[in-house]
Amino acid sequence: MRKFTLLFLMASFGFLQAQTDTVTFQVDLNNYTGSFTTANVNGTFNSWCGACNPMTDANSDGIWEVSLPLTAGTIEYKFTLDGWTAQENLTPGSPCTITTSGFTNRILTFSGDTTLAVVCWEQCATCGTGGGTGTQVALPITFDDPTVAYTTVSFGGNVDSIAPDPTNAANNVLVLNKPLGAQTWAGTTVSAGGLATAIPFSSTDNIITVRVWSPDSNISFLLKAEDVNDNTKTVETLASTTQAGAWETLTFDFSAGNEAPGTAVINYANTYDMLSVFPNFGTDGNTAGNKTYYIDDVVFGAGGTMLSQVDLPITFDDATVAYTTISFGGNADSVVVDPTNAANNVLLLNKPLGAQTWAGTTVSFGGLATAIPFTATDNIITVRVWSPDAGIPFLLKAEDVNDNTKTVETLASTTQAGAWETLTFDFSAGNEAPGTAVINYANTYDMLSLFPNFGTDGNTAGDKTYYADDFVFGTGGGTGPVLSQVDLPITWEDSTVNYASAAFGGASDTILADPTNAANTVMQITKEGNAQTWAGVTVSFGGLANPVPFTATETTMTVRVWSPDAGVDVLLKVEDKNAGAISVETIATTTMAGAWETLTFDFTNNAANTPALDLTQTYDVVSVFPNFGTDGATQGGPKTFYIDDVMFGAGTIGLAENTNLNAFSFSPNPTNGSFEVRLSLDSPQATLSIINLAGKVMHAEVLSLNGKNSLHHVDVQSLPKGIYLINVSNGSSSHSEKIVIE
């Protein structure tokens, strides 16, 4: 989020830096009655050098122009003929001029490539607007009055012009083109030189309306009012389009509390007599593409229905609410019709190729009308989400709209693909995302941002589209109980557990049915063809409910692994969620291809050049790195692995697997507790154990074997319903499988 914050601050606080841009000057000399050979432009940028910047009229239409590379900022200039043979005599007080020490010149403030409108010799407006300089512009601004000097100046790469309304040729409008290369803060001052009369803001009159045509819905427009003589006196606010390819009236409310984040509150003692509009504010031209917008009828006072500030619940369905959103990190958003229900509106989140791992959307840009009422007993926000894939982590962030150092973040993951489901985000202490702040009930949290597929960039995931709806405080919006924090053992079977995960380094993960046993749920990890040597998945993203209970005599963990190849190194890493430098890593190697086996990870055997196990430290995050040390290209393209039953200790399934124990099967599964076990072992007896997920042996018996295909009946109907491990050991080797007792 730091990158996004920096961009926003740049947009809010002036943003004029030393840069070289191309400025195109144009002057209409058709009404000039004298004789001359060449027109020139002179100004502070060329030390008023005379003939050093000649202009040309290539098509002999009487309009002379020149494009010059200039340093962004404010310049004074005027047009001259044949060096200084003749020069403009500009009228002091005209809207495009400034008078200093008795000299009256044109003035321009710019940043980014700028093409100035064609102006008449010695006038601020085009030729044929009624003669003279034209009257100074004032509200309302309609772009239709031929006696008014509509003097505009673009910045940040925006390009503007006055042209006929494309939907009504009898109406003139202002065209705003935000092309490739335009800045996030590109826009146009629509009253360059100032308004003839200051905007009459008062404690009861704070509204300016603007008619806008946008090619897309849900586009943020920022309107800025300032003192033409003191650009430290400003007030800015936002409104968003709700239609695509149609005119609509946006209402900009400048009253206290509605100012754009990080900008000044309105001060009625100030003079505000200049207006600038920023189309698609916060999104640069390369991200949005070359886009053209139109504006018209800049009017003081509420010319249309006043939209209310967004508040929880956020449904995207209320026509009276201003759903102002802004994306960052390469994400793109829009309010659209629910693809599964045409009567419902939802927020579309597109995370394309090139998007950052932290790409997302602020869904209450400008802040909520009311702070989120978190308390020690009320920490839940639910969000309905549609994802193309299961096992996708979403991060929800709440922050203070006026102080972005006050934040709290938490995660939840999808369990379904291609369907709506309600995710529960628990912001209570202990559930915060790793490395982020614990909730502080003394803080104000009044802005929400959603990060789809958090931790995975667009190039790794591919171009993916998600939908979100119904941001609701409390569990009222949910469809089930609040999910509990994940803890060991991790089985991916418990519907009450939040199995939040995060892939990295070019890996991807999802939770799905075991391809070898449809009754079992596992995690699939794909190490893509472009993956790093260290690609993997954090399987307890957000941390375990309890630290891994290492002791001097208990230092092992086991993981069931399915690998397409034998001899593959799997690295298991545990770390402190609040201090990533506190970690320990160890490696185990698969011995089988295309089959499940249990790998034992002994953390006293830490991987080379990594920290040793320190029993005084806390380890509460677990990550798995399949085919560690080999990148995706070297391994021969994408490879898919499966993992299950991440457990502490070696007492349950920690013995090395033996191929002869693969002849172990049981049915039915699920069972009522009465089932048959078939074994084919070269030993006289074996021990069968039923173990709960806490590692406790709930039942054990010794089976006398009678050669190959020995069949045994087991009855454990007295055990509570739940998920267990059935373990068979012959003393030298062991094998375990999951069994469900219903």
Distance of CA 593 to the CA centre of its chain: 39
| Residue of higher predicted confidence among 650 and 166 | 166
- pLDDT value at residue 17: 42
Return the ∠ at Cα 254 (arms to 211 and 268), rounded to 5°. 130
Query: What CA–CA distance (Å, rounded) separates 4 from 331?
Result: 11
Least confident of 192-201, 294-303, 523-532: 294-303
Q: Which two tokens stand for residue 481?
A: 């109980």
Q: Pick from 453, 450, 427: which is nearest to 440 by CA? A: 427
Query: What CA–CA distance (Å, rounded) separates 182 from 574?
Result: 45
| Residue of higher predicted confidence among 543 and 357 | 357
- In which band, very low, low, confident or very high, does the pLDDT at 731 lie, cut at 50, 70 and 90? low
Pairing state of beta strands 73-81 and 86-87? antiparallel
- In which band, very low, low, confident or very high, does the pLDDT at 652 lie, cut at 50, 70 and 90? very low
DSSP H or E stretch at residue 311: none
Q: What is the pTM of this model?
A: 0.40
- In which band, very low, low, confident or very high, does the pLDDT at 612 lie, cut at 50, 70 and 90? very high
DSSP state of 305: P
Query: What CA–CA distance (Å, rounded) separates 256 from 402?
Result: 13
- Provide mean pLDDT across the span 9-14: 36
End-to-end CA distance of the chain: 46
- Provide mean pLDDT across the span 177-185: 92
Q: Which two tokens stand for residue 636?
A: 């021969």
Are residues 494 and 723 in contact, defined by beta-carbon separation less than 8 angstroms?
yes
Are residues 509 and 461 in contact, defined by beta-carbon separation less than 8 angstroms?
no
661: which strand partners? none
pLDDT tens track for 389-409: 988 999 999 999 888 899 999
Query: What CA–CA distance (Å, rounded) separates 634 from 263?
Result: 51
Q: Which two tokens stand for residue 736?
A: 């375990």
Query: What CA–CA distance (Å, rounded) separates 249 from 297?
Result: 9
Q: Give buried/exposed letters for 460-483 (b at 16+ CB in 10 A, else e).
A: bbeebebbbbbbbbebebbeeebb
Q: Pick from 358, 372, 655, 405: which is nearest to 502 by CA? A: 358
Query: What CA–CA distance (Å, rounded) separates 284 from 281?
Result: 8
Q: Pick from 637, 587, 644, 576: which is nearest to 610 by CA? A: 587
Q: CA 367 → CA 222, 310, 325, 333, 529, distances in Å?
A: 15, 8, 10, 17, 42
Q: Pick from 438, 282, 251: which is nearest to 360 by CA? A: 282
Length of the chain: 742
508: which strand partners? 526
Are residues 111 and 21 in contact, defined by beta-carbon separation less than 8 angstroms?
yes
* Residues contacting residue 290 through CB under 8 Å, at least 6 positions apart: 177, 178, 179, 180
Alpha-carbon Rg for the chain, nearest whole angstrom, is 34
pLDDT tens track for 12-66: 333 334 567 889 999 989 878 889 999 999 999 999 999 999 999 998 888 999 9
Are residues 186 and 180 in contact, defined by beta-carbon separation less than 8 angstroms?
no
pLDDT tens track for 698-712: 888 888 777 666 788
Map out the domains of the chain with their CATH numbers.
20-133 (2.60.40.10), 134-283 (2.60.120), 321-482 (2.60.120.430), 497-648 (2.60.120.430), 659-741 (2.60.40.3080)
273 C-beta neighbours (distance < 10 Å), count = 21
DSSP state of 307: P
103: which strand partners? 100
Which regions of 444-566 does DSSP assign to beta strands (E)?
447-451, 464-473, 484-485, 497-498, 502-504, 507-514, 517-527, 536-538, 556-563
* Residues contacting residue 80 through CB under 8 Å, at least 6 positions apart: 39, 40, 41, 42, 50, 86, 87, 88
Which regions of 202-272 does DSSP assign to beta strands (E)?
207-214, 220-227, 230-240, 246-253
Are residues 482 and 380 in contact, defined by beta-carbon separation less than 8 angstroms?
yes
pLDDT tens track for 653-701: 333 333 344 556 788 888 898 988 887 766 777 788 887 765 677 888 8
pLDDT at 304 over 50: no
Which regions of 103-229 does DSSP assign to beta strands (E)?
103-110, 114-115, 119-120, 135-136, 148-149, 153-155, 159-165, 168-178, 187-189, 207-214, 220-227
104 C-beta neighbours (distance < 10 Å), count = 18
DSSP state of 479: S
pLDDT tens track for 122-160: 877 666 433 334 678 888 898 887 778 888 888 888 888
User: Which residue reads 């819905």 in tokens?
Assistant: 217
pLDDT tens track for 471-500: 999 864 433 445 677 888 999 888 777 787
| Residue of higher predicted confidence among 512 and 141 | 141
- pLDDT value at residue 2: 34
- pLDDT value at residue 329: 87
Q: Which amino acid is at 315?
A: T
User: Which residue reads 């800015």 in tokens?
Assistant: 236
Distance of CA 720 to the CA centre of its chain: 45
Q: CA 542 → CA 396, 445, 480, 499, 578, distances in Å?
A: 12, 20, 21, 10, 10
Query: What CA–CA distance (Å, rounded) separates 358 from 610?
Result: 28
- pLDDT value at residue 659: 38
- In which band, very low, low, confident or very high, does the pLDDT at 166 lie, cut at 50, 70 and 90? confident
Least confident of 6-10, 74-78, 186-190, 314-318: 6-10
Q: Is 252 helix (H, G, I), strand (E, B) or coil?
A: strand
Are residues 553 and 648 in contact, defined by beta-carbon separation less than 8 angstroms?
no
- Provide mean pLDDT across the span 225-239: 92
- pLDDT value at residue 323: 81
What is the spatial order of strands in the sheet that 697-704 belongs to?
697-704, 685-692, 722-729, 734-741
Are residues 440 and 429 in contact, defined by beta-carbon separation less than 8 angstroms?
no
Provide the mean pLDDT of the chain. Answer: 84
506 C-beta neighbours (distance < 10 Å), count = 23
